[in-house]
Amino acid sequence: MRTILPTVPLVAALAAAPAVALADDETEYHFGFTTGTSVGDIGEKEIQSRLTGRFGKDAGHYSMLSNKLEAEYVPLRDFRLSLAAYVTQHRIAGIPGLDDRRSGAFDGLAFGLKYRLIDREHGPFGLAVEAEPQWRRMDGTSGAPVDQIGGQYSLLLDKELVSNRIISAFNLVYEPEVSRSRLDGTWSHESTVRVAAAIMAQAQPHVSYGLETRYLRKYEGLALDRFAGHALYVGPTVSATLPRGYWLLAAWSIQVAGRSVGGQGPLDLTNFERHQVRLKLGFNY
């Protein structure tokens, strides 16, 4: 499948906006589902709440809300540590292949390491790597109780297209999962590859607008063994820096193309959802 990101027209339109400086160097404040390379200054601490919602399958009712409460610290130049806890809620009814479920509980922990290899302020672009191993207690799709070890392992790149006004980002992410059901003891091995691109611009003081697109491929097996389905998401993002070190971000992605193995129709609503939303609220000091 060939996809074209409407980057050139968007850059031209944003470049024509009144000249303003980006409110903050920290690219984490500007992207919703995409991650920038910034890590913060030595000694900087941050508390962040990230609410992710996934909605809509091919039948019935499906909703998943997961809140990630995360603490971050920068002990060394270009290096950041983080620790996070998850609380997740599922509401599922009338969906083939999934048990009806109404559940909400503590869902697990994650530990993050991020290292910036190239600072975009002193190089042609920013480059970073990030690892976030996770332990989870619920299956991400069905909400069934599991013991799961997984994580996200990312290559991150960002670049200013127009100095102090427009910034872009690109991510390549590998997400493995090994799960054991606490209901019947069965094991499963899955992996997802995600490619994401985003562009953001500050069109007015302290507020940025942009567009993000993501392409996801789901596999059975940790080594991308058996292809299960793919999905393309596109959607807007808006972020704002607030007084006293606070910042706020909202993003919405819509599945516009995809297909599951053996599925019918133009979307993959077996492995993924029709809509995904994200809200972030953070405070640094």
* pLDDT tens per residue, range 88-118: 999 999 999 899 999 999 999 999 999 999 9
Quick one: pLDDT at residue 15? 40
Tokens of residue 155, six digits: 């290559």
The domain locations on the chain are 7-284
Judged against a pLDDT cut of 70, whether residue 20 lies above it is answered with no
Residue type (1 letter), 232: L
What SS3 class is residue 263? coil
Q: Report the DSSP pairing between strands 207-220 and 45-55.
A: unpaired
Quick one: pLDDT at residue 21? 43
Quick one: pLDDT at residue 30? 80
* pLDDT tens per residue, range 175-218: 999 999 999 999 999 999 999 999 999 888 889 999 999 999 99
* pLDDT tens per residue, range 136-162: 999 999 999 999 999 999 999 999 999
What does the buried/exposed string (b/e) look like for 187-204 if buried means 16 or more CB atoms within 10 Å of the residue's CB? eeebbbebebbbbbbbbe
Catalogue the long-range contacts made by 119-124 (C-beta closer than 8 Å, 24 or more residues apart). 119/37, 119/78, 120/37, 120/158, 120/159, 120/160, 121/25, 124/159
What SS3 class is residue 163? coil
Mean pLDDT over all residues of the chain?
90
- Residues in Cβ contact with 36 at an 8 Å cutoff, skipping those fewer than 6 apart: 26, 27, 28, 30, 126, 156, 158, 167, 169
| CATH node for 7-284 | 2.40.160.40
> CB 40: neighbour CB atoms within 10 A?
20
Taking alpha carbons only, the member of 114, 42, 126, 29 closest to residue 76 is 42
